Amino acid sequence: MRMAFSALPCRRRMKQNQNRLPFAEKKGDGSMKNGMEKQVQTFIPSVDIVETKNSYIVKLDLPGTSKEHIKAQLNRNTLIVSARMQDYLATEKENEQPIKEYRREFSLANDVDLNTIEAQYELGVLTITLNKKSQSLPKEITIS
């Protein structure tokens, strides 16, 4: 007898594949936080991670967020990205749109050069380039 489609095996596979990445997500959930004065909503934007020969490239979708409200930090071997987005067109009394906050942490691979990390924000996409250490790159051995 065939089973109907279930999300559990997909979630399990997705979690297994996450653990195979050169760096894994540490924290971040989609829960709602309600405050007394304002509603704060934690959101999880899409993230793409690509490995090239010389680097890892992390792309995060943060539409509607200004560059000034995005923070990228490095704490030991952990990359921390946080952002805050609010509807600034509404007045303080009329504002029913929640403030959206985002925070995500990634454990970096050992071959990441922590001194050459670059970040660029353009058209709602934050691109973080994590260069690999030169000693970890493959080297051609000359045979004589």
In a domain, 141, yes or no: no
In a domain, 31, yes or no: yes
Instruction: Check: pTM over 0.85? Answer yes or no.
Output: no
Q: Are 41 and 100 in contact (CB under 8 A)?
A: yes
In a domain, 66, yes or no: yes
Q: What is the pLDDT of residue 32?
A: 42
- The percentage of residues in the chain with a pLDDT greater than 70, rounded to a whole number, is 60
CATH code: domain of residue 75: 2.60.40.790
Round to the nearest angstrom and report the end-to-end CA distance of the chain. Answer: 63
Side chain identity at residue 143, one-letter code: I
Helix spans in the chain (H) = 7-19
Q: Which residues on adjacent β-strands are paired with residue 105? A: 27, 80
Considering only residues 12 and 99, tell me which one the structure prediction assigns the higher pLDDT.
Answer: 99
Token pair 């970096």: residue: 108
Q: What is the pLDDT of residue 23?
A: 53
Count of domains forming the chain: 1
Using 50, 70 and 90 to split pLDDT, how confident is the model at 137?
A: low
In a domain, 102, yes or no: yes
- The percentage of residues in the chain with a pLDDT greater than 90, rounded to a whole number, is 35
Full domain range(s) for residue 121: 21-136
| Local structure of residue 90 (DSSP, 8 states) | S
Q: Are 103 and 81 in contact (CB under 8 A)?
A: yes
Listed in order, strand segments (DSSP E) in the chain are 25-27, 32-34, 39-42, 47-51, 55-61, 70-75, 78-85, 99-107, 118-122, 125-131
In a domain, 28, yes or no: yes
pLDDT at 58 over 90: yes
In a domain, 12, yes or no: no
Q: What is the pLDDT of residues 121-133, one digit of tens each?
A: 999 999 999 999 8
